[in-house]
């Protein structure tokens, strides 16, 4: 609210200054005051819209960057060569993942193997389930 009042006061002061300047050229103070006020509102609207547009662009850029960062994940893999060098390799889902061993210089592919397993339920919770069912 303070910001709006300050903005209106500033706009009025600027318009009054232009109105006074208009008096030097034998123009109507209120005419110049009103026109200057309207021009300022239009300029503020255009500047505000442009700032919003730039903000939206920046926000989209940040969101795109965040999505790129989320897709990056690293995994430690062991080179199939004799030295079994372990390296951290960036994994990209949906792409063929390869890396060059720093020791032997061979190009290696990384294959992902997903498995599923039943989660364990704590014994205390299991007892509660048994009691609730009256078993
Ligand atoms: Zn190697």
CA–centroid distance, 108 to ligand 1, in Å, is 8
- Spatial separation of the C-alpha atoms in residues 135 and 133, rounded to whole Å: 6
- Spatial separation of the C-alpha atoms in residues 81 and 100, rounded to whole Å: 12
pLDDT value of position 70: 75
CA–centroid distance, 106 to ligand 1, in Å, is 6
Phi/psi at 134 (nearest 5 deg)?
75, 25
CA–centroid distance, 101 to ligand 1, in Å, is 5
Q: What is the DSSP letter of 119?
A: P
Give domain limits for the chain.
2-70, 79-135
CA–centroid distance, 56 to ligand 1, in Å, is 47
| Alpha helices in 1-135, H assignment, sequence order | 2-24, 29-71, 123-132
**What confidence tens digit (pLDDT) does each residue in 9-18 have?**
999 999 999 9
Per-residue model confidence as pLDDT tens for the chain (135 residues) = 788 999 999 999 999 999 999 999 999 999 999 999 999 999 999 999 999 999 999 999 999 998 888 777 888 999 999 888 999 998 888 889 999 999 999 999 999 888 899 888 777 766 676 676 665
Verdict on whether the full-model pTM lies above 0.75: no
pLDDT value of position 94: 85
Cβ distance 101 to 87 under 8 Å?
Answer: yes
Cβ distance 85 to 79 under 8 Å?
Answer: yes
CA–centroid distance, 88 to ligand 1, in Å, is 13
């Amino acid at each position: 609210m303070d910001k709006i009042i300050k903005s209106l006061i500033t706009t009025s002061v600027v318009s009054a200054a232009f109105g006074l300047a208009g008096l030097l050229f034998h123009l109507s103070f209120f005419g110049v005051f009103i026109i200057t006020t309207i021009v300022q509102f239009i300029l503020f609207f255009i500047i505000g819209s442009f700032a919003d547009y730039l903000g939206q662009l920046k926000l989209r850029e940040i969101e795109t960057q965040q999505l790129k960062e989320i897709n990056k994940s690293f995994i430690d893999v062991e080179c199939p060569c004799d030295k079994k060098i372990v390296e951290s390799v960036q994994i990209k889902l949906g792409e063929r993942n390869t890396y060059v061993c720093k020791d032997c210089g061979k190009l290696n592919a990384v294959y992902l193997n997903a498995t599923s397993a039943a989660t364990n339920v704590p014994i205390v919770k299991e007892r509660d389930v048994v009691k609730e069912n009256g078993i």
